């Protein structure tokens, strides 16, 4: 949903980051020089087994924190009471914890709020997408679209036509509590109110 882009920009503005000339790209675990060279920023080592399931071991160099030690020295301070967190600490926050921590950072909140709106506030910011269930992955894509359309709405003039889309969901409520289903229905309502169409296959 682009939340990490905004968070990396905040870390690049930290005094120590500016002193060391670290740009937002240094705080990416997908590319660049800031990530751990041993595990490539994944936080684990993948060992292929010939006759058994593959094994994933915590990286011995970064201890699963994904970054070089010098990057973890850069911290930002937010929240009430104020806490200083490194980029690896932020990735360990759940979405609801991150929303509270970045409460005064409008751009970060703008992209985190849609994840809360679809009932995924318990997911950690650094959680790998393959570990999500099918329903969670669908709701994350929905959150991404809600964030994108909210940004587009604020950027364009009222005169421009809104592109209408058709969304298809396959059992998006799987494993959800009734309170979370209500949140998802509210998110669906936002799509319908914007003129989009939905087809939802659902047994509940």
> Quick check: 26 and 34 in contact, CB under 8 A?
yes
pLDDT of residue 73: 94
pLDDT for the residue 86: 93
* pLDDT > 70? residue 22: yes
Backbone φ and ψ of 104, nearest 5°:
-100, 5
- How would residue 88 be classed by pLDDT, with cut points 50, 70 and 90? very high
Q: How confident is the model at residue 11 (pLDDT cuts 50, 70, 90)?
A: very high
Closest CA to 41 of 115, 116, 110, 91: 91
Stretch 56-61: mean pLDDT, rounded? 87
pLDDT at 152: 66
Q: Is the pLDDT of residue 202 over 90?
A: no
Measured distance CA(109)–CA(105) in Å, rounded: 6
Place 3 in a pLDDT band, splitting at 50, 70 and 90: confident
H helices of the chain, where?
3-12, 15-19, 69-72, 87-91, 95-101, 106-117, 134-155, 178-193
Strands 76-78 and 55-58: unpaired
Stretch 120-143: mean pLDDT = 86
Residue 197, judged by CB atoms within 10 A of its CB (0-12, 13-18, 19+), counts as: exposed
Task: Give pLDDT, residue 155.
Answer: 60
Instruction: State pLDDT tens for residues 140-161.
Output: 888 888 877 766 666 654 445 5
């Amino acid at each position: 949903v682009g939340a990490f882009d905004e968070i990396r920009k905040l870390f690049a503005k930290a005094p120590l980051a500016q002193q060391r000339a670290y740009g937002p790209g240094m705080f990416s675990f997908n590319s660049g020089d800031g990530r751990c060279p041993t595990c490539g920023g994944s936080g684990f080592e993948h060992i292929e087994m010939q006759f058994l399931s593959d094994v994933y071991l915590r990286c011995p160099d970064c201890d699963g924190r994904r970054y070089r030690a010098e990057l973890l020295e850069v911290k930002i301070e937010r929240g009430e009471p104020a806490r200083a967190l490194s980029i690896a600490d932020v990735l360990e926050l759940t979405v609801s914890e991150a929303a509270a921590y970045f409460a005064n950072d409008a751009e970060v909140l703008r992209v985190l709020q849609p994840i809360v709106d679809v009932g995924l506030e318990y997911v950690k910011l650094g959680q790998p997408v393959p570990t999500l269930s099918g329903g969670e992955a669908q709701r994350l894509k929905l959150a991404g679209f809600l964030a994108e359309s909210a940004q587009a709405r604020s950027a364009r003039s009222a005169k421009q036509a809104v592109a209408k889309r058709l969304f298809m969901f396959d059992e998006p409520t799987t494993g959800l509590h009734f309170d979370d289903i209500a949140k998802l229905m509210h998110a669906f309502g936002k799509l319908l109110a914007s003129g989009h169409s939905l087809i939802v296959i659902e047994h509940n």
